Homo-oligomer: A and B are copies of this chain.
Amino acid sequence: MPSISTPSKIAATKGYGAEVSVCGPTLQERQAAVGEVIKKTGATFVPPFDHINIILGQGTLALELEQQVKELTNGKSRLDAVITPCGGGGMLSGVATAMIGTGVQVFGAEPSYQGGDDCRRGLVEGKHITVVKTLTIADGLRTPVGAIPWTVISDSTKVRAVFAVTEEQIRQAMKLVVERMKIFIEPSAAVPVAAVLYNEEFRRLVQREAGRDGVWNVGVVLSGGNTTLEAMAKLFSGPKL
C-alpha cells in the first residue's frame, strides 16, 4: 500500500491476516514495489480495475442488489436504474455488463473538480481521456478510466450517462448519508448520492422517463468507507454547510 493510505485501511487489512508492504505513493514507486513482492513471493498481481476478471467480479454487486430489492419488497418492486461511482471504471463497467438485457439503466457519477470528470468529458468528446490530475476530496475517483472499462462505458446501450458533481455537493451528500443513515462513507461513495439528489441533468432525465407513477427505483452503490474521523474533521471543521 502507498504510504499515504488511510491508517484504518492498513489496520483493517492487517487485522484480516494480510502482510502489508508499504511503498511510495507515485505510480512508478507502486509498480516497482509490486514487482519486488512478486519476485520475492511468486504472488499473482491483481489489478485494481483494468482487467476483465476484476470487472466481472465487481459486477456481481449488481446481481446482489437486484436480489436484495426482491427480498426487501417481497418481489413487488424492481430496480429501474443503478448508479455507481466512476474512477478507473471497473465497477461501473462490471455493473453495466451484469445489467445487459435486464432493462435496468446504468449510470456513473464523477467529481467535476479540476477535470475529475474525465469519463463524462470523454463521452461528450467521443474519445478516451487517459490523463487526469485532480485533488478532489473523492480521492478514490482521481484515476482516469482504464482501457477495458472504457470499451464498456463508451457503449451507450450499456452505460446510459455519466454525471459530474461539485465538491460542495459531495460534502452535502456525505453529511446526509452519515448523519441520517448512520453509515460512515468516504467522499467517493457520496458522489453517486450527490448526482441523484442534486444533478439537474439526472433530475430532468427521471422526470422525462419515469413511468405512470412518476417514480424511479434507483440503486445507489456506496463504495467505500476507507476514511478516518480525523480526515472527516478536516473536511467538516470549516463553516457549517
Binding site for B on A (CB under 8 A): 8, 11-12, 15, 174-175, 178-180, 182-185, 225, 227-230, 232-237, 240
Distance in Å from the Cβ of A96 to the closest Cβ of chain B?
26
Q: Does the CB pair A182–B185 fall under 8 Å?
A: yes
Q: Does the CB pair A230–B225 fall under 8 Å?
A: no
Point out the residue from B12, B183, B225, B232 that lies within 8 Å of A232, measured CB to CB: B232
Q: Does the CB pair A236–B240 fall under 8 Å?
A: no
Q: Please name all residues of chain B whose beta carbon is closer than 8 Å to the beta carbon of A235 when the two chains form the complex.
A: 229, 233
A15 to B182, CA, bound (A): 16
Integer count of this chain's copies in the complex: 2
A15 to B179, CA, bound (A): 13
Q: Please name all residues of chain B whose beta carbon is closer than 8 Å to the beta carbon of A182 when the two chains form the complex.
A: 183-185, 225
Q: Does the CB pair A183–B184 fall under 8 Å?
A: yes
Point out the residue from B12, B183, B225, B236 that lies within 8 Å of A229, measured CB to CB: B236
A77 to B159, CA, bound (A): 45
Point out the residue from B180, B237, B240 that lies within 8 Å of A237, measured CB to CB: B237
A108 to B139, CA, bound (A): 41
Q: Please name all residues of chain B whose beta carbon is closer than 8 Å to the beta carbon of A185 when the two chains form the complex.
A: 182
Q: Please name all residues of chain B whose beta carbon is closer than 8 Å to the beta carbon of A236 when the two chains form the complex.
A: 229-230, 232-233
A53 to B222, CA, bound (A): 39
Point out the residue from B11, B184, B234 that lies within 8 Å of A184, measured CB to CB: B184
A240 to B228, CA, bound (A): 11
A175 to B8, CA, bound (A): 10
